[in-house]
């Protein structure tokens, strides 16, 4: 076009676009915009590591500085994905080691990371700055030692919720004395004790340290001296918060906390002893994020702490908070945006013995006008409560409700909870994520298909009556990207009728449903750019399975890389089962 | 909804609508003295068909969270405490207390029922409630029987019971050795 801007100008304009979607849109305008975008793209997000090959990413975006990759399906968090399934990051690291020498950031979620990967990272990227391993596994503290020893420009090391083979705390001492650039350290998932003196020296020589999440092994009487070295902290995760009350330890701790003028986020508090909690009161007025989901503290101490935080935006807590505590939250924490209430005892055999019911959530929905995101575990729910919540908070964007007993009806009317969830999707027009629970018929899927136009992720368990339910969701939810289903009577018909839809989504997981082996093969034949993987842990040989055999677990995802090559024996790619497929 | 070929057998779930009878789990079948005395709210209990522990991956709590809840290194000994007439159970962490007197004080505070300590020390005189506990074998015993350390190991749950009922069920009689012992066994 004659009036085109020079490339440099366009590149500058594009640099203001931060969302991947916007940049993707830009790259579709014309060839020159595509080229400018690909050379200037610095951040890449790979939602499914098997959707594309590392080579293909590197070929298209040669100058990436930051990459985020996700591996296993979400239900792996709940032990539904067997060991050895996949999600290995090694091929990505090797490819990037030779092609992205200037890579600065690696963010991984649900991936298998080995020590070899960590060593390769430490050796290959001279300007490496950020390593975030979220819910990863496969490495030990030896791998961490390589990172500590070699990454001179490291800013962030965040191991959140990863499973680390914790051989010893010695790895921390591998940060050289000359290393001073630490900004964020999260080791809360580690079990063993790190050398406290090494930790203290590290904290004292890193003046830019803003976020520090300790592990349980750091005792309460050591926190004060750490905090004194880092009064600039914005985020703090304490270690174990538990000891006999000693006035000297208390006043030292209290004094140290009062120096943290910029603290905004608190977490940790394992085994918290109520007597030590007042030591943090001085920071409460500035706190915007509080994670008490690992502490066994109960009321009244728990509620007392939370009510002292008027600027709270994010609260993660156990059901020890009870309805009364949530009422206090609704009254005191007017800027609350995200609430997560986890079950203190998920396998509780007696019901109704925790004083947390639907009432707590209703209170918060009434009192907290900025509430957008909810994750709530409870034992009882009613349609009336859900309708209230929906009417109170049409601005909800994430709503995940887990009524612990599968198929629980409305406890007041004994009706299904269709109407309640229907109200949620009808009123909350911006809803992007939804998890259902309780007794639900196909009706609820009718509501979802009709109203949930912005819904991107849906989780369903023990719900529905027939294929119609699945069909209504797949045909109605225009924005759907991820669908995960377990223990629902959904089968072949809905799946095959909506085969094309599956290619517009990232992935579909179905376990303990009614999909047949034959339908999986058929689907794979019809949709060449879908990987259809059947997980079957029984010992029978694949060939002997009849077409009508009901698959245990099914994972379908779109991919331009073809079937993956690293499947364990219990994962069958339907591609192999359908030899007449045109490649 | 029910029927073969749905693959639902795999989950070992028994489909049950509200009102279905409760499924007995792996718990001990031993008849406990107070099983008949529990709450009368049977309607709510009836809507509880399946033991959650039988269903894989449910409730959907992340593995690292479940690990933390029952961490091996965790020293917490959280016990359920129920009281006759109270709808909701409370929980008490035994590891936070050094002995019986502290425990009793904590329970009194939780339920606002004072005088529990008196009941422990002197059976005959105390007119108030009694604190009892269920041990590893499923037997209900008076709190204060055994050395503290042994108590922490074997206690599974606690209950504040009306003194009169405890007597009727023969608890007092069996624990005669408590009479005359004014010293609670704190170890």
How far apart are alpha carbons A29 and A17 in whole angstroms?
A: 15
The alpha carbons of chain A give a radius of gyration, in whole angstroms, of 25
Residue of A nearest to B44 (CA): A411
Q: Are A447 and A476 spatial neighbours (Cβ–Cβ below 8 Å)?
A: no
The verdict on a CB contact (< 8 Å) between B57 and A347 is: no
Sheet holding B78-83, edge to edge: B90-93, B78-83, B157-161, B130-134, B140-142
Per-residue pLDDT of chain A (583 residues; tens, 9 = 90+): 556 788 899 999 999 998 999 999 999 999 999 999 999 999 999 999 999 999 999 999 999 999 999 999 999 999 999 999 999 999 999 999 999 999 999 999 999 999 999 999 999 999 999 999 999 999 999 999 999 999 999 999 999 999 999 888 899 999 999 999 999 999 999 988 888 899 999 999 999 999 999 998 898 889 999 999 999 999 999 988 887 888 999 999 999 999 999 999 999 998 888 889 999 999 999 999 999 999 888 889 999 999 999 999 999 999 999 999 999 999 999 999 999 999 988 876 555 567 899 999 999 999 999 999 999 999 999 999 999 999 999 999 999 999 999 999 999 999 999 999 999 999 999 999 999 999 999 999 999 999 999 999 999 999 999 999 999 999 999 999 999 999 999 999 999 999 999 999 999 999 999 999 999 999 999 999 999 999 988 766 555 678 888 999 999 999 999 999 999 988 989 876 665 544 4
Q: Which two tokens stand for residue A33?
A: 């915009």
Chain A residues within 8 A of B11 when measuring between CB atoms? 487, 512
User: Which chain A residue has the Cα nearest residue B91?
Assistant: A298
- Cα distances from B146 to residues B93, B100, B183, B186, in angstroms, run 18, 10, 12, 9
Q: Cβ(B56)–Cβ(A399) under 8 Å? A: no
A433-435 vs A398-403, strand pairing mode: parallel
Are the CB atoms for A485 and A510 separated by under 8 Å?
yes
User: Shortest Cα distance from B171 to chain A (angstroms)?
Assistant: 25
Of A414, A514, A486, A356, nearest in space to B20 by CA: A414
On chain A, the residues whose CB falls within 8 A of the CB of B45 are 351
- Return phi, psi of residue A463, to 5°: -135, 165
Residue B5 sits at the chain A interface (C-beta within 8 Å): yes
Which residue from A minimizes the CA distance to B16?
Answer: A407
**To 10 degrees, what angle do helices A20-27 and A31-40 make?**
140
CA dihedral B162, B167, B168, B174 (to 10 degrees): 140
Q: Can you tell me whether residue A143 is helix, strand or coil?
A: helix
Residues of chain A with C-beta less than 8 angstroms from the C-beta of B78: 296
Contact predicate A218/A185, CB 8 Å: no
Instruction: Report which DSSP code applies to A1.
Output: -
């Amino acid at each position: 076009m004659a009036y085109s801007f020079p490339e440099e100008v366009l590149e500058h304009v594009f640099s203001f676009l931060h969302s991947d979607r916007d940049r993707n849109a830009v790259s579709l305008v014309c060839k020159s915009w595509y080229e400018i975008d690909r050379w200037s793209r610095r951040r890449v997000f790979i939602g499914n590591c098997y959707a594309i090959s590392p080579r293909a990413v590197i070929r298209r975006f040669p100058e990436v500085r930051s990459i985020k990759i996700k591996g296993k399906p979400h239900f792996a968090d709940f032990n539904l994905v067997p060991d050895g399934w996949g999600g290995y990051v090694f091929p990505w690291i090797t490819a990037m080691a030779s092609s992205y020498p200037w890579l600065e950031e690696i963010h991984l979620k649900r991936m298998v990371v080995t020590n070899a990967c960590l060593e390769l990272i430490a050796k290959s990227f001279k300007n490496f700055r950020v390593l975030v391993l979220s819910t990863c596994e496969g490495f030990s503290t030896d791998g961490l030692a390589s990172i500590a020893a070699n990454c001179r420009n490291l800013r962030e090391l965040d191991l959140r919720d990863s499973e680390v083979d914790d051989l010893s705390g010695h790895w921390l001492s591998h940060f050289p004395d000359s290393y001073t650039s630490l900004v964020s350290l999260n080791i809360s998932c580690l079990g063993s004790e790190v050398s406290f003196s090494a930790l203290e020296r590290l904290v004292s020589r890193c003046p830019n340290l803003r976020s520090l999440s300790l592990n349980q092994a750091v005792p309460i009487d050591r926190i004060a001296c750490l905090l004194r070295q880092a009064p600039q902290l914005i985020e703090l995760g304490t270690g174990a918060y538990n000891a006999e009350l000693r006035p000297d330890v208390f006043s030292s701790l209290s004094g140290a906390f009062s120096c943290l003028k910029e603290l905004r986020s608190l977490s940790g508090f394992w085994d918290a002893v109520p007597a030590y909690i007042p030591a943090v009161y001085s920071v409460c007025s500035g706190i915007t994020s509080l994670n008490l989901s690992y502490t066994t503290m109960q009321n009244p101490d728990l509620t007392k702490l939370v009510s002292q935080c008027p600027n709270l935006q994010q609260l993660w807590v156990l059901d020890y908070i009870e309805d009364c505590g949530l009422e206090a939250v609704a009254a005191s924490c007017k800027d609350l945006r995200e609430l997560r209430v986890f079950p203190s005892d998920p396998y509780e055999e007696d019901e109704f013995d925790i004083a947390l019911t639907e009432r707590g959530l209703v209170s918060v929905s009434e009192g907290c006008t900025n509430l957008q995101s909810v994750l709530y575990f409870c034992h009882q729910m009613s349609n009336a409560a859900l309708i209230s919540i929906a009417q109170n908070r049409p601005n909800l964007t994430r709503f995940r409700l887990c009524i612990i007993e599968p198929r629980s009806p409305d406890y007041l009317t004994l009706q299904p909870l269709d109407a309640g969830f229907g109200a949620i999707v009808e009123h909350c027009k911006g809803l992007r994520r939804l998890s259902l629970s309780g007794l639900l018929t196909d009706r609820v899927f009718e509501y979802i298909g009709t109203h949930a136009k912005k819904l991107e992720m849906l989780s369903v368990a023990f719900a529905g009556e027939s294929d119609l339910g699945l069909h209504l969701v797949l045909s109605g939810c225009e924005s759907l990207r991820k669908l995960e289903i377990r223990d629902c009577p959904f089968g072949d018909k809905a799946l095959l009728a909506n085969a094309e839809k599956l290619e517009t989504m990232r992935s579909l997981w179905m376990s303990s449903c009614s999909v047949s082996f034959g339908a999986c093969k058929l689907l794979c034949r019809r949709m060449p750019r879908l990987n259809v993987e059947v997980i079957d842990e029984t010992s029978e040989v694949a060939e002997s399975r009849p077409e009508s055999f009901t698959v245990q677990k099914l994972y379908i995802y779109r991919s331009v890389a073809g079937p993956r090559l690293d499947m364990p024996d219990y994962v069958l790619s339907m591609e192999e089962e359908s030899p007449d497929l045109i490649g | 909804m029910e029927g073969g070929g749905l693959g639902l057998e795999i989950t070992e779930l028994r489909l049950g609508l509200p009102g279905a009878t409760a499924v007995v789990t792996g718990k001990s079948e031993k008849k406990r003295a107070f099983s008949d005395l529990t709450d009368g709210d049977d309607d709510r209990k009836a809507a509880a068909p399946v033991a959650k522990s039988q269903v894989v991956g449910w409730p959907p709590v992340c593995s690292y969270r479940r690990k933390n809840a029952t961490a091996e290194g965790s020293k917490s000994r959280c016990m359920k405490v129920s009281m006759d007439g109270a709808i909701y159970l409370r929980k008490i962490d035994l590891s936070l207390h050094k002995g019986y007197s502290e425990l009793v004080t904590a329970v009194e505070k939780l339920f606002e029922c004072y005088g529990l300590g008196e009941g422990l020390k002197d059976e005959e005189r105390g007119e108030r409630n009694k604190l009892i506990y269920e041990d590893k074998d499923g037997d209900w015993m008076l709190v204060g029987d055994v050395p503290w350390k042994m108590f922490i190991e074997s206690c599974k749950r606690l209950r504040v019971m009306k003194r009169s009922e405890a007597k009727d069920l023969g608890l007092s009689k069996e624990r005669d050795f408590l009479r005359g012992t004014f010293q609670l066994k704190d170890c």
